[in-house]
Structure formats: C-alpha cells, structure tokens
Chains A and B, each alone.
Chain A
Amino acid sequence: TTAALTAGLERIPDQLGYLVISEDGVLASAGELENDEHTAGVIMQMVRTASRFRLPGSAEPPFKRMSVVLEDFVYTVTVSGQKVFVVKRQNNQQEPINV
C-alpha cells in the first residue's frame, strides 16, 4: 500500500518532502515536493541514466543511493521494487571554518 511506502519516508528527521515514482507516474508526494511532477520527471531521467553505469566486470549498478547535492538541500534517490524514492533533505553541511 502507499501508506507503507511513505510511512518510513515521513519519519526521516530532516526531510523537507518526498516523492514515490513508478514507471506510470507519481504514486505519492508530500512537503516541498507535493505535486512536483517536474522534479519527478527530471529525477527519473537522472536515475535512468545513472542506473546504466557499470563498473568493469560487474552486472549490477555500483551504487545504492544517488544524491543530487545543492546549496541548501540534497535530493536523495534510490530504487526499490520498480519504484523510485526521492527524499529532499536539509543540507546542514557547510564549508569547514578554519580557525
């Protein structure tokens, strides 16, 4: 059920919104990503491209999570059971200050 898919995403502490996307379209969305079909489309294209990467001698994609790192926030993306999960999280990391 959709609730089972999204319950875990809701609980991620610094999350600002999320999307659950299938080949047919957006299954669920919330927060800053609510109804954001445009972002869903862009992320899907990125995932399709990234999923084709292979390290030499391996048949599997060499990663579990794709992060799109922007100034103040990060889109964390993964694929499970033919569905793409996207969570927009706060990016608290900054340039380390040298004292």
Chain B
Amino acid sequence: MGCCYSSENETTEQDSDESKPLIPPPNPVSKPPNGTDWIPTNVPSARTDEQALLTSILTKTAQNIIDVSAADSVMMEQHEYMDKARQYSTKLAVLSNSLPQKKALALPSLTSQPHQVLASDLVPYSDVQQVSKIAAYAYSAISQIKVDAKEELVVQFAIP
C-alpha cells in the first residue's frame, strides 16, 4: 500500500506549459477506443441499484482512461521533446530532496476503558462462524474477477 503525494492547490505555476496536457484528451462521445464495449447511457429504470453502481463505476473509469492509441499524434519537434524531458527531470530532482519524510501514524485510541473492554464476553462462536462463511464467499467472488483482454495494452507513442 502506498500514497502518491499530490496537491491540487498549487495554481501558482510560473510555467503554465508544465501542466498543459501532452496528449489532448480525446472526446469520449465521438471517438470510443477500438474494441471497447460502451455501456449505453439510457439504462432502463428497472435495473437494480447494484447495476446502476456498476454502470457508474464503468463510466467513470472509461472517462478517466486515456487511450494513447486513439489520440491524435502530438506535433512536437525532437528537440522540444528532449527539452521538456530535461525540464521534468530537473524539476523532479529538486522536489525529491524536499519531500517530507513519511512519519508513522499514531494509533487512534479505541477506548478509555481497556480493562473493561478486554474482560467483556468473547465474540459468540456463531458470530465467528458466520463471519468466516461470509469471508469465504467474498474470497471466492473476488478470485473469480478476471481481466478480459480485448486489445494490445502497450502501443507506440506517435512522436515523429
């Protein structure tokens, strides 16, 4: 588990070129990636909440995915590309020196009566059995999730 540090508050970029996207985001309505099944937006009202939730997750993911093969090729000179790469490396090097060290998080207090809490009745055996069964079902369900690969994942960047 890990966390990438990011801040959306920094709008004081002197070089606005930095945050300009390299790849113009393709219009999701007019140019769907090849081979992807797009969920139609007019879902019948009879669908369960679960289906609606699944649909919204899929739609959100589809909107956030940048398909580099479907985007128009970026018209950038070789030297411009090299300059940009050098600029980013320098910036990264400067920033990595000043990143704060990650401190171990303090444990939140669960109770002010530790002795009472620990002396209380143990979890009933039937509860433990039920939770074990639910966990087994969940494990089985998760292990059946798989990726259905439709097309190549690695493509060439179209930089001349």
**Chain A residues in the interface with B (C-beta under 8 A):** 8-9, 11-13, 23, 47-48, 51, 60-61, 63-65, 67, 69, 74, 76-85, 87, 89, 91, 93-96
Q: How large is the interface on B (under 10, 10 to 19, 20 to 34, 35 or more residues)?
A: 20 to 34
Asked if residues A12 and B125 are in contact (CB atoms below 8 Å), the reply is: no
Asked if residues B118 and A12 are in contact (CB atoms below 8 Å), the reply is: yes
A77 vs B118: C-alpha distance in the bound complex, in angstroms? Answer: 7
Nearest A residue (CB) for B124? A93
Residue from B110, B111, B113, B122 within 8 A of A74 (CB atoms): B122
What's the A-B contact tally at a CB cutoff of 8 Å? Answer: 80
A90 vs B109: C-alpha distance in the bound complex, in angstroms? Answer: 25
Residues of A within 8 A of B111 (CB): 64-65, 78-80
Asked if residues B122 and A91 are in contact (CB atoms below 8 Å), the reply is: yes
Residue from A48, A65, A96 within 8 A of B107 (CB atoms): A48
Residues of B within 8 A of A9 (CB): 115, 118
